[in-house]
Amino acid sequence: MYMRSIRKHILRFELAGEEGSSEQEFPELSLGLPSLLRRDGLSTQVDDGGVNEKVVGDFDDVGSRITSDSLDFEADQRRRSSIYREVLQSYDELRRRSENLEEAKSKILSYTPGAWIEMVGGMKLSDYDVPKTASLLLIGPRGSGKSSLVNKISRVFEDDKFASERAQVSYNSSVGDGTYFLQEYMIPRGSTSFCLNDTRSLSDESYENMEMLKRWMTKGVRHGELAIRDSDSSSLKTIMKSKARHNGYKSSEARMVNFVIYVVNGLSVLKSMNSNDEAGMQYTQLISTTFNCPFLSFKDDKPVIVVTHGDLLSLSDRAMIRVHLGELLGIPPKKQIFDIPEISDPMTELTIVDMLRYSLEHADRNLPGKGWSMGKVVTVPLSTCLLLFLILGIAIISAHILGSHSHHAHMRRARQSNTRIDWHAIRHLWLGTDYD
């Protein structure tokens, strides 16, 4: 697989540790010609008479063997190397920016829904349907670390470092699915600006995921709602329904989802990248299929990706995972894929802040406008409907009465005009009559 060959070169590039090493480890990057030419041992031999004819002949022979596929492969290799270098350098940028962590946190803490709306198209804030609380939906495969991410985010914005973890984390992700009931968490506690919605892990069956995501994205999410699938065993359904107690989620408020955060396990992604069989690649296939669900996108905005468990991997592996996911999902790995490992340090906290800033900005960007919209039904109270029908009925009856009165008056005038004799007009008839 191409990722293995790229990984060998990338590891050497990382170990070199210097900017100039890229030309030593990747000499083809410093020249404009395809590296296929240099691998055939060509060199620029110039004498007094110009370019050596033998070299020209060799060049023609090699050039004839160059295909469009090989050129595309070379271009892809260079592009991947360039993207990898940018992602790797982003960790140094993050380290420098972490000095301003508190300032970045303050911007999130002062956020209110609609604060980052872009005033475009002549629209104002009052023209948008702004929610009281911005709702961010967390989704991901089993063991991706959604609940752990909730706890990490909560700790970043809370002063009480001794507070217990808010989300229940599964100690062994292979036992059960973890979260069965949708849980809503205000960030920070007591705030109403935005919330995280922790959900049940994605199913291995794509159709079940599509049905569940469609329901959440079109009908909203409710705190405490039980997520049951058709593939669940009858015994599991019985157990879960008994845990639901009084189905209190039905009385909770349904919130429309404003943006989606897709959480994936970096270690599982790396294993899938290096696998050659169908079963091994199933993890990234699940990510790709679910990520491209049309209900998860807001116009052109696709979900943000969070990669967890990076503390179990080297920095080069973490960078390669982001590059691979960027190619797989069609999103920029440096800007839309966030590496949040299971550690607590300023760099990780700043990454969390950056991820939330991205999510909330895009949530505000795609808030619906007020009034009629596609797929939205405007409901009118029954009393208003009755009043409108009454007014309409009165108007019809009045028009009928007025029309009838006008018609009868016209008929009377017509009859009068028909029976009246204008003697003056016909006097010539009877004056000129001869009675002889």
Q: What is the pLDDT of residues 45-74, one digit of tens each?
A: 444 444 454 444 554 555 555 677 788 888
At residue 195, the pLDDT reads 97
Question: Comparing C-alpha atoms, which of 288, 359, 301 is closest to residue 329?
Answer: 288
Identify whether 72 is part of a domain: no
Is 422 among the domain residues? no
Bridge partners of 308? 265
Q: Round to whole Å and give the CA distance between 291 and 364.
A: 21
Specify the number of domains making up the chain. Answer: 1
More confident residue, 234 or 23: 234
What whole-number distance in Å separates Cα of residue 300 and Cα of residue 362? 10
CA distance 378 to 128: 16
In a domain, 21, yes or no: no
Amino acid identity, position 324: H
Lowest mean pLDDT among 83-97, 234-248, 303-317, 324-338: 234-248
Lookup: tokens for 244: 């639901």
What average pLDDT does range 13-35 have in this prediction? 40
Confidence label for 406 from pLDDT (cuts 50, 70 and 90):
low
Query: How confident is residue 153, by pLDDT bands cut at 50, 70 and 90?
Result: very high
**Residue 343 covered by a domain:** yes
Does residue 373 surpass a pLDDT of 60?
Answer: no
Q: What is the pLDDT of residues 305-326, one digit of tens each?
A: 999 999 999 999 999 999 999 9
Extract long-range pairs of 86-93: CB within 8 Å, 24+ residues apart: 86/334, 87/319, 87/322, 87/323, 87/333, 87/334, 88/14, 88/315, 88/316, 88/319, 90/334, 91/315, 91/319, 91/347
Residue 406 lies in a domain: no
CA dihedral (121, 124, 128, 133) positive or negative: positive
Task: Please provide the distance, in angstroms rounded to a whole number, between the alpha carbons at the two ends of the chain.
Answer: 134
Is the pLDDT assigned to residue 10 strictly greater than 80?
A: no
What is the residue-averaged pLDDT of the chain? 79
**pLDDT top residue among 370 and 338:** 338
pLDDT at 82: 94
In whole angstroms, give the CA distance from residue 300 to residue 278.
31
CA distance 169 to 151: 9
Within a 10 A sphere around the Cβ of 124, how many other Cβ atoms? 8
Going by C-beta distance under 8 Å and a sequence separation of 6 or more, which residues neighbour residue 408?
A: none
Q: Which domain holds residue 169?
A: 98-365
List all residues 6 or more positions away from 127 whose beta carbon is below 8 Å from its beta carbon: 369, 370
In a domain, 198, yes or no: yes
**Quick check: 357 pLDDT over 60?**
yes
**Cβ atoms 356, 318 nearer than 8 A:** no
Q: Residue 14 falls within a domain, yes or no? A: no
User: What's the CA gap between 182 and 188, in Å, rounded?
Assistant: 18
- For residue 134, tell me if it sits in a domain: yes
Which of the residue ranges 25-29, 83-87, 155-159, 377-381 has the most confident prediction, judged by mean pLDDT? 83-87
Helix 315-329 / helix 266-273 crossing angle, nearest 10 deg: 70
Band (362; pLDDT cuts 50, 70, 90): very high
For residue 351, give the CATH number of its domain: 3.40.50.300
Of residues 270 and 432, the one with the higher pLDDT is: 270
Phi, psi of 7 (to 5 degrees): -65, -40
Percent residues over pLDDT 70 in the chain: 69
Which are the contacts of 90, defined by CB distance < 8 A and separation ≥ 6? 334
Average the pLDDT over 194-210 and give the result. Answer: 95
